[in-house]
């Protein structure tokens, strides 16, 4: 089997272009809607930390990186419409097909907030249009695994976050010690889910890539070290479904050690 590192970045983005039309349905069916639950939990926790450092949730500037069809972005918009306010939210993704679907979903579900939403066709490693130290929150859900130049991307996250700004990574991290239930859950995500994914999307390569990319990815502890190297300090870690997925929350340190 190929490892995640055997795929090149262009091909990975091309795979997401190809599976974009079936992405949402496949996700919901195969995760029994758990993907939604974990996204919402990650947002609640992230906003808790934003509040802790900023003191309120008003006029937030946010980037949802690897935004795909805008699920995370739309949860954030809805949440802040009730419990705070948005100045701007960027949806960043290099897949034009994903962004096209994101645009359609925003038009259907959040038309009244559309002027505050900017979709940008970009990779995580180069967030040029976003000014340094301008963001209160960056979210990246099920996306970091696909970013091959992770070091550059984490550097960009550190550059664009304000001091005290929050990064939340929701991801299927590599885990070497899972226990029995964890092994069963991992078996589902790495063996069974790709088979159904292939059948639903009719795209063998994209769903063979999923388990390969998890195996080739880093562990939570390794990510913690990489974050620390760019001045992002992990403040909370949550694991879901016996460590099948993890949510890592980090804050740009306020002591001045950063990439900017
Ligand atoms: C599994 S989807 C996740 C989408 C969305 N965040 C969600 O929660 O459903 C992964 C996304 O990562 C994007 N992606 C792939 N390579 C990327 C890169 N180098 N930088 C940023 N995003 C990337 C893909 O286009 C795809 O939309």
β-partners of residue 61 are: 88
All structural domains of the chain, each given as residue ranges with its CATH number in brackets, are: 8-179+218-252 (3.40.50.150)
> Given phi > 0 = left and psi -120 to 50 = alpha, else beta, which region is 32?
left
Sheet holding 60-65, edge to edge: 117-120, 86-92, 60-65, 135-141, 161-171, 245-252, 232-240
The predicted model scores a pTM of 0.93
The helix (H) or strand (E) run that includes residue 233 is strand 232-240
Q: Return the residue whose CA atom lies nearest to atom 26 of ligand 1.
A: 68
**Each residue's pLDDT tens digit, 167-214:** 999 999 887 777 788 788 778 777 887 887 778 777 878 878 888 888
Task: Kindly state the tokens that stand for 227.
Answer: 């974050």
What confidence tier does 5 reach under pLDDT thresholds 50, 70, 90?
Answer: low
**Each residue's pLDDT tens digit, 78-128:** 999 999 999 999 999 999 999 999 999 999 999 999 999 999 999 999 999
70 CA → ligand 1 middle, Å = 10
Which atom of ligand 1 sits closest to the CA of residue 140? Answer: 6
* Residues within a 6 A CB radius of ligand 1: 9, 12-13, 16, 65-68, 71-72, 93-95, 98, 123-124, 141-143, 146-147
């Amino acid at each position: 089997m190929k490892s995640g590192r055997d795929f090149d970045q262009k091909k990975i983005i091309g795979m997401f272009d190809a599976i974009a039309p079936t992405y949402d349905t496949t996700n919901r069916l195969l995760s029994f809607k758990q993907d939604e639950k974990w996204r919402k939990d990650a947002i609640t926790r992230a906003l808790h930390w934003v509040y802790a450092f900023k003191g309120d949730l008003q006029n937030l500037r946010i980037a949802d990186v690897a935004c795909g069809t805008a699920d995370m972005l739309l949860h954030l918009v809805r949440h802040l419409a009730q419990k705070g306010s948005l100045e701007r939210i960027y949806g960043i993704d290099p897949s034009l097909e994903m962004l096209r679907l994101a645009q359609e979903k925003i038009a259907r579900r959040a038309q009244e907030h559309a002027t505050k939403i900017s979709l940008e066709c970009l990779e995580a490693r180069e967030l040029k249009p976003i000014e340094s130290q301008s963001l209160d929150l960056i979210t990246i859900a099920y996306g970091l695994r696909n970013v091959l130049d992770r070091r550059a991307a984490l550097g960009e996250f550190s550059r664009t976050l304000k001091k005290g700004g929050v990064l939340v990574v929701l991801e299927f991290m590599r885990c070497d010690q899972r226990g029995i239930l964890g092994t069963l859950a991992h078996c589902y995500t790495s063996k069974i889910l790709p088979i159904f994914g292939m059948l639903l999307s009719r795209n063998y390569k994209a769903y063979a890539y999923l388990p390969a990319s998890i195996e080739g990815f880093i562990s939570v502890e390794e990510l913690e070290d990489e974050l620390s190297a760019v001045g992002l300090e992990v403040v909370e870690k949550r694991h879901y479904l016996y460590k099948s997925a993890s949510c890592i929350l980090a804050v740009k340190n306020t002591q001045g050690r950063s990439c900017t």
